[in-house]
């Protein structure tokens, strides 16, 4: 009498390996990136949004602007009577709130800009203009973690020059 073979087949081992791989990738995705990765994502989002609205300003001949606050930013367009209002587009392409743990600081034309939380009564005036010629107000927007003020805390910046060119980089001190 021959004893039955014991063990796993190659197919069974491969199925288990695939399942473990899928479960570990779900775990990594649910955890998300670290704080530096989130700062980079926010800088990429702002850069893409500005590039989109620069092109819209050129194509439509409208003056566009960006209103920054400590907890986010909004894209505005100048109406016929000179008032600033949200352009006709998807809400995600107009206004963005930063995550709670993140803060934004802004320099316009080499000077720090005051960032306040706009209330319903305040007139929304943009700090950065996107002209129909492709030019823009010089600015530097720095994304950082709200609770970290140390010099080596992670920060990421988006800068725009007068010609409308944008750059992104990590901030080092």
The confidence score (pLDDT) of residue 121 equals 41
Cα separation, 132 vs 157, whole angstroms: 24
pLDDT in tens, 88-129: 766 567 888 888 888 899 999 999 998 866 544 446 789 999
Residue that the structure tokens 């920060």 belong to: 155
What residue ranges do the domains of the chain occupy? 35-170
55-85 pLDDT, tens digit per residue, is 988 998 889 999 999 889 999 988 888 888 8
As a whole number of angstroms, the distance between CA 97 and CA 37 comes to: 17
Contact of 141 with 101, CB cutoff 8 Å: no
Tokens of 89: 């587009």
pLDDT, tens only, 125-165: 899 999 999 999 999 999 988 887 777 788 899 999 999 99
Give the C-alpha separation, 127 to 108, whole Å: 7
Query: In the 3-class helix/strand/coil scheme, how is the chain assigned residue by residue?
Result: CCCCCCCCCHHHHHHHHHHHHHHHHHHHHHHCCCHHHHHHHHHHHHHHHHHHHHHHHHHHCCCEEEEEECCEEEEEEECCCCCEECCCCCHHHCEEECCCCEEEEEEECCEECCCCCCCCCCCCCCCEEECCCCCECCEEEEEEECCCCCCCCCEEEEEECCCCCEEEEECCC
Q: What are the tokens at 20?
A: 């473990």
CATH, domain 35-170, list 3.90.1170.50, 3.55.40.10, 3.30.70.120, 3.40.640.10: 3.55.40.10
């Amino acid at each position: 009498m021959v004893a039955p073979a014991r063990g796993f087949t190659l197919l069974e081992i491969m199925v288990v390996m695939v399942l473990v791989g899928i479960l570990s990738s779900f775990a990594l995705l649910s955890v998300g990136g670290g704080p530096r990765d989130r700062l980079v994502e926010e800088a990429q989002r702002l850069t893409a949004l500005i590039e989109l609205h620069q092109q819209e300003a050129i194509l439509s001949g409208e003056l566009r602007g960006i209103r920054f606050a400590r907890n986010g930013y909004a894209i505005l367009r100048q109406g016929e009577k000179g008032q600033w209002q949200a352009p006709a587009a998807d809400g995600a392409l107009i206004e963005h709130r930063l995550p709670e743990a993140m803060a934004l600081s802004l320099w316009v034309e080499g000077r720090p800009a005051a960032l306040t939380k706009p209330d319903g009564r305040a007139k929304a005036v943009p700090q950065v203009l996107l002209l129909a010629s492709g030019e823009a107000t010089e600015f530097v927007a720095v994304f950082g973690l709200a609770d970290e003020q140390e010099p080596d805390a992670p920060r990421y910046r988006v800068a725009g020059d007068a010609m409308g060119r944008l750059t992104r980089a990590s901030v080092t001190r």
